[in-house]
Amino acid sequence: MSNAVSSLRKFVSPEIIFGSGARKMAANYANTFGAKRVLLVSDPGVVAAGWVQEIEEILQSAQMPYETFTSVSPNPRVEEVMRGAELYREKGCNVIIAIGGGSPMDCAKGIGIVATHGRSILEFEGIDKIQVPIPPLIFIPTTAGTSADVSQFAIISDQENRVKFSIVSKSVVPDVALIDPDTTRTMDAFLTACTGVDALVHAIEAFVSTGSGALTDMHALDAIRLINNHLVLLVEQPEDSHLREQVMLGSMKAGLAFSNAILGAVHAMSHSLGGYLDLPHGLCNAMLLEHVIDFNYTSAEDRFRVVADTLGIDTRGLSSPQIKKRLMNHVICFKRQVGLYQKLGEQGVHLTDIPYLSDNAIKDPCILTNPRKSNHRDLASLYEEAL
């Protein structure tokens, strides 16, 4: 019986509208959810790019009352979530629209949780801690990477303790994701690379995760193929709308895969790093990826062979160590081609930080589905290698 149960897999996903112009349906969906007043959540970068104003105009022309909250940092903070929830309650909002990358979307999830529970966001760390339904969430991603718009994760930064913590619950899967490749036009090359590599890591980690299954595998492999084939070209040719659409589609599929299969050591370690040094999440993932592949390889050889095949590596006649070497080289080369060659040491990580980073990484829920069981020492060694 236990085998039958352990092979069960659930798959959660929002209603998804994908394609050019999807963002313009924001007011229609707010109406569908009976919005009396919308809280529009974003950040200063997305305001500067002009997307917030566009959504405000869409809401105005639909005569939909709204409040705008844009005090969100690149790694959204506990106090920002609390302030947003206060505004939500004060102004009598009942629907949340978020536009931006992972930060505004994760912040919006946190605001929804606090607004309905009336408690600190810190109390919801972990898996399935949300007891009351949260307000309808309508998300418009402006980066092709984080996939907060389709996932059951919210990652919040606790500045006081210099850690990031994860909230995992089907309650934070948005009701609607309006995934519009046009919104990614305003990303610079570095952000395009960071978020694209983040999506690639989502897909690889989801495919080798112990929580993977048939429903997540198809999305993960498709995401690996789409991002591998289009991201390098997109960084070189940012005006190409077809490339933009393909990378956005890859990011979405990676999100559907990891939201349900969960992730692994790259993300556990990356969350710890991002909380400690406030670095871009995609960059943290990029700096750790090949080291974690090296560590995990023997625990998921068959799966990594499929990843290698999907990346276009010809594995015929190769031994397992040869495939591992080619896979790691491909990943390193891919990162360089999109301009990511940084090491942890250059980003301000010191040997003396590693025990603290490992302490937090080992507590991250993502470590639970890593294909190879890992302890504090394993993670410390991986951080050292990435210095």
2-184 against 189-386: fold identical: no
Q: Measure the CA dihedral 115/101/34/54, to 10°.
A: 130
Q: Partners of 158 in the beta sheet?
A: 163
Provide the pLDDT for residue 6.
67
CATH code of the region 189-386: 1.20.1090.10
Question: What does pLDDT average to over the chain?
Answer: 96
pLDDT category at 278 given cuts 50, 70, 90 is confident
Instruction: Kindly state the average pLDDT of the residues 97-103.
Output: 96
- Residue-wise pLDDT for 153-181, tens only, equals 999 999 999 999 999 999 999 999 999 99
For tokens 């995760």, what's the residue?
Answer: 209
pLDDT category at 356 given cuts 50, 70, 90 is very high
User: Is residue 361 a contact partner of residue 292, using CB atoms and an 8 Å limit?
Assistant: no
- Residue-wise pLDDT for 328-338, tens only, equals 999 999 999 99
CA 183 to chain centre: 17
**Domain ranges for the chain:** 2-184, 189-386
Provide the pLDDT for residue 2.
45
Q: How far apart are CA 252 and CA 243, in angstroms?
A: 14
pTM for this predicted structure: 0.95
- Using CA atoms, how far residue 189 sits from 101, 125, 321, in Å, is 15, 33, 34
CATH code of the region 2-184: 3.40.50.1970
- Residue-wise pLDDT for 1-29, tens only, equals 445 456 788 999 999 999 999 999 999 99
At residue 206, does pLDDT exceed 90? Answer: yes
Q: Partners of 98 in the beta sheet?
A: 41, 139
